[in-house]
Structure 1
Amino acid sequence: MRGSAALVTVLALAGCGAQAGPVDTSRVAGTENAEASAVAHRLQKTLDALRFQEVLDTAPPGSAQARTLMNAVDKEARNTPRQRQSLLAAAPDAKPIVQQPQIDATVIELDRRGRPVSSGTVLMSPQYKNGVVVPVDRNLSTTDVRWRQWDDAGWYANKGQGSIDVVPGREGASLDFMSPYPASVLKLMVNFGVLRLVDQGTITLDGTYDYRPTETSSLCGGPTSKTVAQYVDESITWSSNAASCALVKLLHDNGAVDGLNRTFQDLGLQTLQLKNTNPASGGRWGNPVTMSSLDTAKLLTLVNGAPGTVWTAPGGKPVTSAVLSASSRKFFQDKLRSQGWNDMLSTPNWCGGAYPAAGIPHGVPSRWVGADGTVNVNGSKFGRDVRPCTKKAEVSFAHKTGWVNNSGADAGIVKALPGKGGRSYVVVVFSNLGTQYVDAGRPDTPEGIYPYAFTEKFAKLGRIIDTYEKNRAARG
């Protein structure tokens, strides 16, 4: 979007200019108040206005790059700096994306106690080119979507529809959507399961776990011995695949994977499924691992904590934040706030530059910031002084990102800092727009500096959502 017309559009969508038109309540059936419809309507209009279909594909169908990237198992094993540099090297010859991207986005607005007050979920795909609002009821639940498992080749061959159902019995649903692979956001499910074991007294955070895989895996690496707390820290804050494999194997060693999947079902989080992982290594992360933005946002709402019954599951069970203890919720939130990869809905690691655009306005945790103000995440250097952005930060963002070539994801809890606007919400975005897709005219990255891996449209989306939520909080 360019020029004054684009500026007016973005300001209006963020709630800074003229009010949007009437909410299309026919596409938000089941909601119980106008505010829920309002946030869904704004989210749909914003996604449409950002024109994600204008991104370029560095590995278009039939290219040599595309043939090397088709891999349905352990995708993260190929998610290396060398691969990203190879894709960026192909950027000058990138082609327009062949069809409307696949995007699944949810915002859950919270009150000061952390209770949901409204929500909006929007799906975008080749079938829903302008985005479609998902009908969500007062329990943040929907039966109106036939969720399909991601299929790498099928996105091209079947216009993004998919063929394997995630939730049974949805053949007659009004919407049909293939959920993007969650990439490293799946580590939210893994760490939730580990903290459940801590709460049950099966393991302790201070206890040492000897990871001894009985099968080799390029994703997982070799044997290690660390405290559970250290594995959790590495899994969340800098997205260590090796640490996460250890935690998945820890779950298998304790016979807890099937129980974790049943827990998600009992909580009404039917699309959250940690399936088909390898008990011998903790690896084999493939398309049977599924997450929708709505269920992920609901999980983070529980992690954030709220008094009383937060929602009622489809089976009639009241769901409360006691699914995790207060100490486990605090530990989880602290690790999410310590995130080093701030590069999708937020971009403070690239503070002050013309590219990428500024996203959700939070600061970079001090553990990653050197004496010169630049960020170094486990050897990945970002090269910009982030202290000005941290000084101007308005919110905390406790989040987890994920990416492979055809998956880009960000999921987190946003809370205003004292005196900075009072908003509180959960935001989750899953998409097939991973490191394979770039913006037209993106600048070159200096030698030795970590390259920006996404389209900056995600950062613009994060900023517009946050501005809208800030204005909502100001209205009271």
Structure 2
Amino acid sequence: MSVALAVTAAAVSLPGQAQAASEPLAEKLRRTIDGLRFQEVLDTAPPASPQAKRLPTVDRERQTTADVRRLAATAAPQPISQQPQLDATVIELDGKGRPIRSGTVLMSPLYPKGVTVPVDRNLSTTSVRWRQWDDKGWYANKGQGTIDVVPGRENAPLDHMLAYPASVLKLMVNFGVLRLVDKGEITLDTVYDYRPDPVSPLCGGATSKPVRQYMDESLTWSSNGASCALIKLLHDRGAIDPLNQAFQDLGLRTLQLKNTNPANGGRWSNSVTMSSLDTAKLLTLINGAPGTVWRAPDGTPVTRNVLSAASRRFFLEKLSQQGFNDMLSSVNRCGAAYPAPGIPHKVADRWIGPDGTVTVNGQKFGRDVRPCNAKAEVTFAHKTGWVNNSAADAGIVRSISKNGRRYVVAVFSNLGTQYVDANRPAVEPGTYPYSYTEKFAKLGNLIDAYERRRAS
């Protein structure tokens, strides 16, 4: 059957905004995800396989491009053992960046067809018992976690184990660093001497760079070393606990940067959590919606002033220069038969060589992206992430034309580099391997096509 953004279910009227006279966004999103049949992916490291035993559960971002190639080359991948985990949110914005409607969908072995999440006027929900990701528990407990992320939700009608956020966690890190800038404790030009002790394989050795350079490397090409330095900077300044409390105070209760190592900024584990809804809300603030965007749990108005205008501009500039345009987009592979086209956005000029191909931190993509850039309809300021059992992408989409679509999208899943499509071709020699199932790119394309029609 053909896959299209489909219809039905109640949408949410957001603070100060008129309800759009159309059918509910959440149900459209649910039917789209269900129609893409994510359960048809193949698993290159099923539970009892030798490959599975070698996969790390802490500091997992130390996996390399070679690891992706090794998993992709597995001789006999098996059908996935159960329905995958997905957590997806779309927040539609008006011309000034204010939220108009939202939709959040969860999929898991508990909800194999997907389920829509009730969201209130404050872009919040108390209907989900959020649990930490558990690598072995995903198989043993049929996708149901055991460690609660938000207390007091034991009787919530929905239960979902959050996929590990992978490198999308760097949104939280950089938000925390910009809070220090806004408080005057550091500047973007402050040189930070990163001296890890001990040195970890994830983080690498000592470096000394301006904060703005660490942030650029963290956000545009996902440097783990730069991100470890920023996390250690937050620890050095006693800013980790206040950052986690700030997320709680803002009503972003699943955003938790916990249990990282103050000595080197590493130890990224399952206690680092993010939901698609709270991530999309954070991006809505960074995007700069005017007025009261929502109210915090204590009734306090939450506004874009959680960061200064200068910090928001810097953050957005770096997200718009994302080099790894994978998952919900695939434009770095412009014109390829695989993967399918995703969100039709423009590649940042800084990564494009004289021949039109993209190279990011030495990783070559091998396709001329100039034809896709010429036809690009939107910009996509976003952050991706992957490990073997985590895939993540979250960002802000804006139409290049003046009055077109604007929305925030965030998707988290356990379908990381361990999972492949049956039709996936061999990786071209010398090029960066595609890290996800192409179903995510198809999802991004379908969401964007719907938003284009809605805005026209």
TM-score range, shorter chain: over 0.9
3-state SS of 2:214 partner? helix
What corresponds to 2:404 in structure 1? Answer: 422
- Deviation at 1:418? 2.1
Q: Structure 2: any 5+ residue segments left out of the alignment? A: none
Deviation digits for residues 119-151 of structure 1, max 9, x if unmatched?
Answer: 000000000000000000011000000000000
Rounded to whole Å, the distance in 2 between the matches of 1:337 and 1:30 is 29
* TM-score of the aligned structures, taking structure 2 as reference length: 0.97
Q: Could you tell me whether the CA contact under 8 Å between 1:103 and 1:429 is conserved in 2?
A: yes
Rounded to whole Å, the distance in 2 between the matches of 1:160 and 1:202 is 43
How many residues of Structure 1 are paired with residues of Structure 2 in the alignment? 453
Which residue identity does 1:74 align to in structure 2? Answer: D
1:313 and 2:296 correspond: yes
What corresponds to 2:59 in structure 1? Answer: 74
- Deviation at 1:445? 1.6
Deviation digits for residues 411-462 of structure 1, max 9, x if unmatched?
Answer: 000000025x610000000000000000002111221111111100000000
Task: Report the RMSD for the aligned CA atoms in angstroms.
Answer: 1.3
Aligned pairs (5 A) from 1:281-360 = 281-360=264-343
Which residue identity does 1:273 align to in structure 2? Answer: Q
Rounded to whole Å, the distance in 2 between the matches of 1:119 and 1:332 is 23
Q: Could you tell me whether the CA contact under 8 Å between 2:20 and 2:100 is conserved in 1?
A: no
1:47 and 2:29 correspond: no
Aligned pairs (5 A) from 1:44-123 = 44-69=30-55, 71-77=56-62, 79-90=63-74, 92-123=75-106
Rounded to whole Å, the distance in 2 between the matches of 1:37 and 1:145 is 23
3-state SS of 1:129 partner? strand
Q: 1:35 to 1:263 in 2, by over 3 A?
A: farther
- Deviation at 1:85? 1.1
1:160 and 2:146 correspond: no
Q: Could you tell me whether the CA contact under 8 Å between 2:12 and 2:101 is conserved in 1?
A: no
- Deviation at 1:72? 2.3
Q: Could you tell me whether the CA contact under 8 Å between 2:30 and 2:115 is conserved in 1?
A: yes
What corresponds to 1:445 in structure 2? Answer: 427
Greater fraction helix:
1
Q: Could you tell me whether the CA contact under 8 Å between 2:217 and 2:226 is conserved in 1?
A: yes
Rounded to whole Å, the distance in 2 between the matches of 1:72 and 1:381 is 28
Q: Structure 1: any 5+ residue segments left out of the alignment? A: 14-19
* TM-score of the aligned structures, taking structure 1 as reference length: 0.93
Q: Could you tell me whether the CA contact under 8 Å between 1:193 and 1:251 is conserved in 2?
A: yes
Deviation digits for residues 239-258 of structure 1, max 9, x if unmatched?
Answer: 00000000000000000000
1:431 and 2:417 correspond: no
Q: Could you tell me whether the CA contact under 8 Å between 2:9 and 2:24 is conserved in 1?
A: no
Amino-acid identity (%)? 69
Q: Could you tell me whether the CA contact under 8 Å between 2:19 and 2:100 is conserved in 1?
A: no
1:244 and 2:227 correspond: yes
Q: Could you tell me whether the CA contact under 8 Å between 2:13 and 2:101 is conserved in 1?
A: no
Aligned pairs (5 A) from 1:163-182 = 163-182=146-165
Q: Could you tell me whether the CA contact under 8 Å between 2:13 and 2:100 is conserved in 1?
A: no
Q: Could you tell me whether the CA contact under 8 Å between 1:36 and 1:118 is conserved in 2?
A: no
3-state SS of 1:123 partner? strand
Q: Which of 434, 442, 451 is matched with 1:469 structurally?
A: 451
